[in-house]
Structure 1
């Protein structure tokens, strides 16, 4: 019985601190999104919905015709970088995406995901073995439709 009370108290502490951490996370999220603290919960729900839609749409996007996706919580949209515009009607006509078309925004892009991955791998294969960079971040930034290299701050 003593263990049961201990377990109940432990669970109570865990659930209380989780709520406490969520409250303290609201300030930075409000700053990131440029919104009031009171709106954070609504925007978190929007973000969860957009992430789900993004996961649903990605399997239908081939790497040679599309340049990746990114979400904009404030606009409530999943942006799809599109290299080959002829693929847009095909994607829009898929029955699996019928309920999500209002959330999708196809935007013209220069670089396919295939090209971005190739460029990323080339940069890594040249830069890392030769220079052994420290505190350098290299990645594909879908919003910019490009490979980015940024310096970390120490």
Structure 2
């Protein structure tokens, strides 16, 4: 019985052992940093997520939605990338009291697709997908590409009719098995 109690205590103490004390923490590997820097990078990411939350509420407003194409966090550069269709709106955005304190954390990228356009393209491509029923496909808006992405899990499945039907919307097409061969 004592052995069982000792094993339970040992297991509980191992569970409470900090994952940050491990060598080769998964996030450290992913980000290419030292294990000791993981907490600092997580704090930086939380900060950028907080700014993104504030910014996205503003960008959804009528006077901004057609001038911007969404946001994404670039943890390596430690900034929030703001996809910008109409660069004349940048000054107006930075002048807002909610945004001004965070302007040093923002990086503006000139892009072609606004959030309105991406939302319209996504809805339309979804309707086309409902008709053609592509197999092994994942469809999503990607702010890094400033485009709709159609991710196919297997390039051997014939989805040519669907791809031809969505061609006017110029989505980014990615095949998973092609990515695997490149790695």
Q: Under a length normalisation based on structure 1, what TM-score does the superposition of the two structures give?
A: 0.80
> Against the structure 1 CA distance between its residues 22 and 39, is the aligned structure 2 distance closer, same or farther, given a 3 Å change threshold?
closer
Where in structure 1 are there 5+ consecutive unaligned residues? 1-8
Match of 2:103 among 101, 104, 111: 101
1:96-119 Cα distance to aligned partner (Å, 9 max, x none): 112101001111010001101111
Count of paired positions = 143
Instruction: Please give the root-mean-square deviation of Cα atoms over the aligned residues, in Å.
Output: 2.7
Shift of 1:37: 1.9
Separation in 1 of the partners of 2:142 and 2:32? 21
Q: Under a length normalisation based on structure 2, what TM-score does the superposition of the two structures give?
A: 0.68
Separation in 1 of the partners of 2:40 and 2:25? 14
Separation in 2 of the partners of 1:49 and 1:103? 9
Where in structure 2 are there 5+ consecutive unaligned residues? 1-7, 154-175, 178-183
Bigger RCO of structures 1 and 2 (CA < 8 A, at least 6 apart): 1
The residue aligned with 2:141 is: 140
Q: Runs of 4+ in structure 1 displaced over 3 angstroms?
A: 15-24
Relative to total residues, which structure has the larger helix share, 1 or 2? Answer: 1
Larger Rg: 2
